[in-house]
Structure 1
């Protein structure tokens, strides 16, 4: 298998083709015509494309590759960044980046990207817009609050702010309702399973489904926890360095926040989560550390019941949990 490294930009993308010695690069326009021309140079049996997850600019290329059954891998930009440091790269251009991505594919053999269901793609789009609208709402609400302390307030400005805030709130409510409706229609069984876990509500359940593409993108709960960014980091070397670091924070920050908030409820109503929290607190662990452990517990519970297509039973202990502990903490 030959790995083609691709560096994406808004209007063009650079592809690095492996040769007997080094790589040869070609630049294509980032549109349907350019992608078709690039695909015509590939072989389904011999090539696998590797590109960074750089937002919407690479989506057209990724989906057209998948439509033609050409293997493609979507890689976290941090992985390429650290790989470039390991290779001691001192030059950064589109051509150099494409070669580095191709070399990364050759050395690391990243997994092939799986196109999520249409419903998941639709919910992802809505979630992205929803995130930006909430940021705007917070900004405008803070601005309006700052106006209230002024000795004189321009009524027209205040009126414009109030109308804009009301409009954004209406749009947020509509998008949230759309996401819940799509989730209930397309993933009703998983929604029922997830919301049966004490501590997981409809908002967190839909976010888990969106991030995991209906629990099809991950093979085990450890992978999901790493993706979300709630696994602690460690540094150990010889006898002088032994540091227990913070969580890695590499993944979905919104989902990570929802899980942390859900842990507050879980330690009250979810027996397994409450026992985990109390056990860690008894050992002298800080509350935040114990709550992160509870968030990981919720991820394992959610993963298990969705894969088993069952309903959560509070206090149930599986045979695996009796004999081993597969927590990433």
Structure 2
């Protein structure tokens, strides 16, 4: 007898986990504590599940995800935007933790997102360091902007805070250096990425931390994952403008800076950019195409473990 598929949605907050099952509609709420999580895992292991879906919630979801994955349960963490769009499309406009869990279960049932490998703890730690570096950089920029218009009594304090932030940034960079050195795979991959003119340590480490799929997908898949693939906007005889949308914002931001530098300093990418501009493409459109081309090249380099060559700009 064929067993009906069962889908689980788990909404995670700091204090509680709200769980919903489809198609039964069963719901429960438990404390977000280790003992409760372990008990939940045991209960879910006793059920023949098809899929468990959680939203990315800034890291709060990690303990329960690790527990579920450790028990070899089919769990996936999805982009909150996908779930919100699904909720709007199905008319689910109300929002509570219990409703969110039910929407996640319905999303799992209707969309059935493909399972993919979860990042290991080392990758999560690298990701946390990269995120912290980004935060410190933003805070330094903000404080320097405040300094220019600050009253005299505050200038000394702001300067002291900037020095402290810069020291913290230096410490994070040292930890990143150590993490990369301790991993033969990351060390090799960073060396390959940095062989491309326009790619420095900030971009390479963002890619290693935030895009572990690099080298494992084809060029179309990796472009769609990052959010640099042009999406159609057509209806009937109307042909709309192509646009990029969604994806991983932090990776896209890093690629933007890399493409900006490469369009000036990397002869192959610079020539590609100039060709697009000469063909009438707007600067932003041409730069987005450079981002997409650069990503395809980096993906191929990691996949085939080869260093940069100008020939790659002609074949990718």
Deviation digits for residues 63-92 of structure 1 (CA, Å, limit 9, x no counterpart): 111111111011111111111122112432
Q: Which residue of 2 aligns with 1:231?
A: 229
Q: Which residue of 2 aligns with 1:10?
A: 14
Q: Does 1:286 align with 2:282?
A: yes
* Cα shift at 1:195: 1.4
Q: Which residue of 1 aligns with 2:292?
A: 296
Counterpart-to-counterpart distance in 2, 1:281 and 1:136: 35
Counterpart-to-counterpart distance in 1, 2:292 and 2:80: 25
Q: Structure 1 98/118 Cα, relative in aligned 2: closer, same or farther at 3 Å? A: closer
SS in 1 for 2:276: helix
For structure 2, the 5+ residue unaligned runs are none
Q: Which residue of 1 aligns with 2:161?
A: 164
Q: Which residue of 1 aligns with 2:59?
A: 56
Counterpart-to-counterpart distance in 1, 2:137 and 2:293: 28
Q: How does 1:237-248 map to 2 (within 5 A)?
A: 237-239=235-237, 241-248=238-245
Count of equivalent residues: 309
CA RMSD across the alignment: 2.3
Match for residue 134 of structure 2 among 131, 135, 145: 131
Match for residue 218 of structure 2 among 206, 217, 220: 220
Counterpart-to-counterpart distance in 2, 1:115 and 1:85: 27
SS in 2 for 1:247: coil
Q: Is the 8 A contact 1:194 1:302 kept in 2?
A: yes
* Cα shift at 1:304: 0.3
Q: Which residue of 1 aligns with 2:258?
A: 262
Counterpart-to-counterpart distance in 2, 1:15 and 1:164: 43
Q: Does 1:193 align with 2:195?
A: no
Q: Give TM-score scaled by structure 1 length.
A: 0.86
Q: Does 1:179 align with 2:176?
A: yes
Q: Is the 8 A contact 2:45 2:73 kept in 1?
A: yes
Q: Give TM-score scaled by structure 2 length.
A: 0.89
Q: Is the 8 A contact 1:7 1:97 kept in 2?
A: yes
Q: Which residue of 2 aligns with 1:315?
A: 311
